[in-house]
Structure 1
C-alpha cells in the first residue's frame, strides 16, 4: 500500500476513534455545564406541523433501531452467540432487519430534511449546524444502505466478523485495523462518517439524545411522598389572600 494511504488508514481506524470518543464525552459534559439553555432539539413544530409528525416518528424509530443494532451487533463477541446462531445467520438477520430500519429512517430523515430546506419559514429559523447534521446523517444512511449488497456478497459473514473484531479492539484499547483493508470502500467511508458524527455530536442539536436516555432513569425513580398540610381555621374566618392574587 502507498505510504500515505497506509498512514491515513492507520490514523482513521486506530487514532481517530479515540479522538471522536474523547470529544463526544468531554464536549457533551462541557456543553451541559456551560450552555444548558442550548441543550434542546429546537423543535419547529409551532411554525408548521406538515410532515413533521411522520418524518420525526419514522426517523426516530429507525435511528434508535439502527443505533442499538450496531451497538449490539459490533460489540457482541462471536463466542457469545455461536452456540445458538451461526455468524452467517446473524449476518442475514442484521441485513434484513437493519435494511428495513434503514429504509424507514431514510424516509423519515428525507421528509425532515426536505421540510427544513424547502419550507421558507423553517429555513429562516434553522441554524447552519441543523442543516449540516441532517445532511451528514442522510449521507451516512445512504452509504449504509449501499453496504447491503456488499454484505450479501459475503455469505460467510467475513465482513461482519472483521468489523466486529475491529470495534471490539477499539473498546478494549487494543486497536488493530489491518483486517479492514479487506473490506470494500463503502464500509470504510461508513465507519469514518459514523465516527465523525460522534465528533460533531456535542456541537449540534443531537445532544438532546442524552436527555432521552436520561428519561429511562426517571422511570425507576423513587416515588415522591406528598403530604397535605391542614390548617385549623376558626369558623367565620377566611384565609389571608396571597400577595398579587387576582380575582
Structure 2
C-alpha cells in the first residue's frame, strides 16, 4: 500500500502534468484544426443550452475553488482572518452549490450525447469517455462533502492543501506523507483528477486553454447596407 501511495500521489501527478502540457503543446503545434470544442449546436441547440450554461458555471466555480483553495498558502488565510474551520465550511457550501449546478448541466449533456441519434453519430469515443470521467469526478466530489461534514475542524483539508502545495514545489516525499492517511474518497478524487490531466490533450477539453482575447483589439468590420436601385 505504501508503494501505491508513493506512485499514485508522489509520482503520478508529475506524469499526468507532463502528459497534459507536452501533449497539449504537440497537439497545438501539429493539429491546430482539431483544437476546438467541436460544437454540435447546429445539430441540436435546445438541450445544449439547457446543459451547457449550468455545466460551465459549475465547472468554473469548482475549478477556481480548487485552484485557490488548495494552492493558497495557509499564512494568507490566517492574514485574512479565515480559520481552517471557516475555510472548511466555505468549501462545503461553495463546492456543494457549484457541484450541484454542474451535476445538473452535465447530466443533460450526457443524456443528449448518448440518446440523440444525430449527436451520438458525430461523437468520438473520447467525447463520451471524457464526459463520464467528469461525471465520476463530480460524483466523488459531491460524496466527499458528506465525509467533510463529519469533521468540520478542517484537518483533512489542511492535509490536502499540504499535498497540493508540496507537489507544486517538488517536495513529493512531504506530499505523500501529508495525504497518506486521508479518507479514501479524497484519494480517489485526487487520483481521478490527475487522470483527467492525462486525458486532457486528447480530448475537446483543450479549448479551455484558448480564449478569444484578440477580439478585444481587433479592428471593427465595416458592413455597408446594399441599397436597391
**TM-score in terms of structure 2 length:** 0.91
Q: 1:133 aligned to 117, 130, 134, which one?
A: 130
Q: Which runs of 4+ in 1 moved over 4 A?
A: 223-226
- After superposition, the C-alpha distances for 1:64-92 in whole angstroms (9 at most, x for unaligned) are 11001000000011111113111110110
Equivalent residue, structure 1, for 2:225: none
Residue 149 of structure 2 aligns to a residue whose secondary structure is helix
Distance 2:186 2:180 in 1: 10
Equivalent residue, structure 1, for 2:32: 36
Q: Does 1:150 align with 2:147?
A: yes
Alpha-carbon offset, residue 225 of structure 1? 10
- After superposition, the C-alpha distances for 1:35-74 in whole angstroms (9 at most, x for unaligned) are 0110111111111113110100000000011001000000
- After superposition, the C-alpha distances for 1:128-181 in whole angstroms (9 at most, x for unaligned) are 100000011001000000000111112110011000000000111112212222
Distance 2:91 2:166 in 1: 21
- Where structure 2 has 5 or more consecutive residues not aligned to the other structure, the ranges are 222-229
- After superposition, the C-alpha distances for 1:202-227 in whole angstroms (9 at most, x for unaligned) are 0001001111xx33x44775x7599x
Equivalent residue, structure 2, for 1:22: 18
Alpha-carbon offset, residue 182 of structure 1? 1.9
Q: 1:107 aligned to 104, 123, 133, which one?
A: 104
Equivalent residue, structure 1, for 2:165: 168
Equivalent residue, structure 1, for 2:186: 187
Moved more, 179-188 or 113-122: 179-188
Aligned length: 218
Q: Does 1:12 align with 2:8?
A: yes
Larger Rg computed on CA atoms = 1
**TM-score in terms of structure 1 length:** 0.85
Q: Does 1:73 align with 2:69?
A: yes
- After superposition, the C-alpha distances for 1:82-135 in whole angstroms (9 at most, x for unaligned) are 131111101101110111000000110010000000111111111010000001
Equivalent residue, structure 2, for 1:232: none
| Distance 1:220-1:119 versus aligned 2 partners, 3 A rule | closer
How much is the aligned-residue C-alpha RMSD, in angstroms?
A: 1.6
